Amino acid sequence: MSLLKPGHRGCAGCGDAFAGKFVLDALGEDVVIVSPTGCLEVFTTPYPESAWGVPWIHSLFENAAAVASGVDAALNALGKKNNTKIVIIGGDGATFDIGLQAISGAFERGHDITYICVDNEAYMNTGIQRSGATPLYASTTTSPHGKVSIGNPLHKKNMPAIIAAHGSPYVATASIGYAPDMIKKVKKAAQVKGPTYVHVHAPCCTGWRFDSSKTIEVGRLAVETAMWPLYEMENGEVTNVRKIKNRKPVEEYLKVQGRFKHLFTMDGKNESIKKVQAIADWNVKHFGLE
Amino acid sequence: MRKNMVVVEGSYAVAHAVKICRPNVISAYPITPQTHIVEDLAQFAADGEINCEYMNVESEFSAISALIGASAAGARTYSSTTSQGLALMHEALFNASGMRLPIVMTVVNRALSAPINIWNDQQDSISQRDTGWIQLYAEDVQESADMTPQIYKLAEDEDVLLPAMSCMDGFILSHVYEPVILLEQSLTDEFLPAYDPEFVLDPKNPMSFGAFADPGTYTEFRYKQEKAMGVALEKIEDIANEFKDIYGRYYGGLIDGYILDDAEIVIMAMGSVIGTVKDTIDELRSEGESIGLLKVRSFRPFPTDAIRKALKNAKVVITLDKNISIGKNEGALCTEVKACLHNTDNRVPVIGFMLGHGGRDIPMHVIKKIINKAKLVEKGIFIESEYADLREDLA
Amino acid sequence: MKLVIKTVTKPGSTRANKTGAWRSFMPVFDHKLCSKCGICGIYCPEGVVNKLENGYFEPDYEYCKGCGICANECPKKAIVMVLEGK
């Protein structure tokens, strides 16, 4: 029985729910979870209910890493730390944008915490607005495609690199489409002493606009097209990658999502899809995915 | 009494008091004029005199956020800040109070930017009066230090469980050197029990902190916070008296009076200006004037009943405010005192003076000028609220 | 209901909320085609596809939201989404 109990208000087919479930599957009961404001926090804890079968705290949107730092300090001061893992599970908005400072401080101080970013590539809980994690050309409500716009004009911020630059001993990317791999990485991140980070791709059927039955399939397509490279970094060096056999062109990934549909009908579609393909090609080269 | 006294900086006396209260987690972000408190605490930690985790955080927002996590995990917590730092914490102050975490913070009162100014006034803490934090204001260094164990005991009371600000005027009290009795460890261990909350983050007994409350339940949470402030009203008096019994020192509970009983003119004030007011009163009393002081020690919870009782015989009330609500042209003490008298039979005129903003010194002659202006009420000249120390050459 | 302070809520209390009422389509599991691989169990976002004693899998229909992921992922096509008539 999962430690993330059913009855929560996540959408049918929710990627965040998968992420929460797999994190608890990986770590078990001896954890303290810290969540910033976001989909996962909201749909799991409508007062007086909670879906969390483990200790859990939500404070504000931008301070999860600072709150977790305080929990770490308190458990140490009280002599109660033992093997308890302190894990932050936060969305991309809270991680890439508003909460970045607190993450930077926490990682610089070197707390023994694990930060799991559940990345659905927009501010989903407030209605699908653009975040620093929104990929190039994705149509969101604050970066919509239109008569003079092709969607989000900005590239996705490279969070794993930023965390690695803080000297984190273990940084990994994962995907809910590859559950055993994700669970293994979360376990490893929690075991490694010091501040560690796992960046989880969590497709959102509501925000990306695809049928709820396709969440896992879309997650896999992201990896198979090299749009979401799976790798591990230890002490700043890439140590392990998941190689791609029979890499698919990015169209396979883009065409199944409503947020990219406009790329197939707008003027200059070949140019834009080429630019997206270039991102995938760069990943292949940079991480040695083939 | 004198042999126990040492001459120390105000910040040191407070830092020492914090040490004696045995906090588990301290978070620190430096900002003038709080810096000496967190520096002294860092030195205590470096010398092994304090058994706690000392966190150097990267902003005041993270300072308070770390304490939210630490308090939820069962730790006794402490931080200190002022001015811009307190303002930066604004969102988290509401959060800490709503989550009923008894975090204690010394606010070393300082003016707010813009313009940027590092000197004392009380705008910073007064601006946070709606956040659900207890606010007590100290008159001098001894009181600032002694307030520390009292405020822990108050905040951590199981029927209160609210975060609390202990306010001391920046530079005037933080950087002054005064003879004080440093807080006694043995007495404090007797006075202040260990923090032992009912609910903590504990894998053996998992609970969820910080759920969202929809329109059906939100109001009752807020009501309960207010009720806890009501409990605090009583406990502040009890705790002050208990402190007196154990330590032999007393500063008033919610309020305190100085030659108040027969005073026709009553000056109301918070914080260090009280010292100057008392000296002025002594001088004017020797000249036959009927003047007294009503010290407001607790601003939140606001001691409505105590103030109404204390002002029963006053002919004129003067309020001194080291803050202003821009757009109301009044300081908060003035507004709240007027409000608390409104629905009573007491129609005593309340004259509001704002002064000392941005660290402007308040010498005795300014207090005397204020008193003379207040006396004009007898001639039918009523001042609603004005600056007592405005520089006409710059205005 | 007495309000507990700190907005502390008890673990797993969302189970009071039966999300099975949400769905339009329900997954029907055909054990004859099932290879007991367990993929449906792993890839249920609600965590309500449970292993039976005989090694086959069944969803808890009280909570199943009818998302269709189990049917989409099953390598043996042993799960079919059926419009639920009520």
Burial class (CB in 10 A: 0-12, 13-18, 19+), A219: buried
Coil, helix or strand at residue B178:
strand
Which tens digit of pLDDT belongs to each residue from B142-153? 999 999 999 999
Query: Which pLDDT value is given to residue B2?
Result: 65
Q: Running DSSP on this structure, what letter comes out for residue C84?
A: P
CA distance B246 to chain A (A): 28
Decide: A91 and A202 in contact? Cβ < 8 Å.
Answer: no
Is C45 in contact with A51 (Cβ distance < 8 A)? no
Query: Which pLDDT value is given to residue C11?
Result: 81
- Residues of chain C in contact with residue B211, where contact means CB-CB under 8 angstroms, are 7, 9
Which tens digit of pLDDT belongs to each residue from B101-120? 999 999 999 999 999 999 99
Is B208 in contact with C11 (Cβ distance < 8 A)? yes
The band of C86, judged by pLDDT with boundaries at 50, 70 and 90, is low
Domain B5-247 and domain B255-387, same fold? Reply is yes
C-beta atoms surrounding B209 within 10 Å: 27
- Residues of chain B in contact with residue C10, where contact means CB-CB under 8 angstroms, are 207-208
pLDDT of C8 strictly over 90: no
Decide: A111 and A69 in contact? Cβ < 8 Å.
Answer: yes
- Which residue is listed with tokens 């976002």? C45
Which residues, at least 6 apart from B106, have a Cβ–Cβ distance to it below 8 Å? B14, B18, B34, B37, B78, B80, B144, B148, B165, B166, B167, B168
* Global confidence as pTM: 0.95
- Residues of chain A in contact with residue C63, where contact means CB-CB under 8 angstroms, are 6-7
Is C73 in contact with A216 (Cβ distance < 8 A)? yes
Calculate what percentage of chain B has a pLDDT beyond 70.
Answer: 99
The band of C1, judged by pLDDT with boundaries at 50, 70 and 90, is very low
Average pLDDT over chain C, rounded to an integer: 91
Query: Which pLDDT value is given to residue A2?
Result: 84
CA distance C29 to chain A (A): 16
Average pLDDT over chain B, rounded to an integer: 97
Which tens digit of pLDDT belongs to each residue from B122-140? 999 999 999 999 999 999 9
pLDDT of B233 strictly over 90: yes
- Residues of chain B in contact with residue A68, where contact means CB-CB under 8 angstroms, are 69
The band of B4, judged by pLDDT with boundaries at 50, 70 and 90, is confident
Is B70 in contact with A52 (Cβ distance < 8 A)? no
ipTM of this complex: 0.94
**Domain segments of chain B: what residues?**
5-247, 255-387
Interfacial residues of A (vs C; Cβ cutoff 8 Å)? 1-2, 4-10, 12-15, 17-18, 21, 44-54, 179, 205, 211-217
**Do the bridges between strand C8-9 and strand B316-321 make them parallel or antiparallel, or are there none, so unpaired?**
unpaired
Provide the CATH number for the domain formed by B5-247 in this structure: 3.40.50.970
Judged by a CB distance cut-off of 8 A, whether residue B24 touches chain A is yes
- List the single residue in A with minimal CA-CA distance to B67: A70
**Furthest CA-CA distance within chain A:** 63
Answer whether CATH 3.40.50.920 is correct for domain B255-387: yes
The band of B1, judged by pLDDT with boundaries at 50, 70 and 90, is low
Segments in chain A below pLDDT 70 = none
C-beta atoms surrounding B140 within 10 Å: 21
Long-range contacts of B366-375 (CB under 8 A, 24+ apart): B367/B267, B367/B276, B367/B277, B367/B280, B368/B280, B368/B284, B370/B267, B370/B318, B370/B320, B371/B265, B371/B267, B371/B280, B371/B284, B371/B289, B371/B291, B371/B318, B374/B265, B374/B316, B374/B318, B375/B265, B375/B316
CA distance A4 to chain C (A): 7
pLDDT of C2 strictly over 70: no
Higher model confidence: residue C3 or residue B233? Answer: B233
Which tens digit of pLDDT belongs to each residue from B184-210? 999 999 999 999 999 999 999 999 999
Nearest by Cα to B298 from B249, B355, B237: B237
Coil, helix or strand at residue A107:
helix
Q: Quick one: average pLDDT of B320-344?
A: 97
CA B386 to CA B390: how far, in whole Å? Answer: 9
Is C69 in contact with A45 (Cβ distance < 8 A)? no
Query: Which pLDDT value is given to residue B378?
Result: 87
Query: Which pLDDT value is given to residue C7?
Result: 64
Calculate what percentage of chain B has a pLDDT beyond 90.
Answer: 97
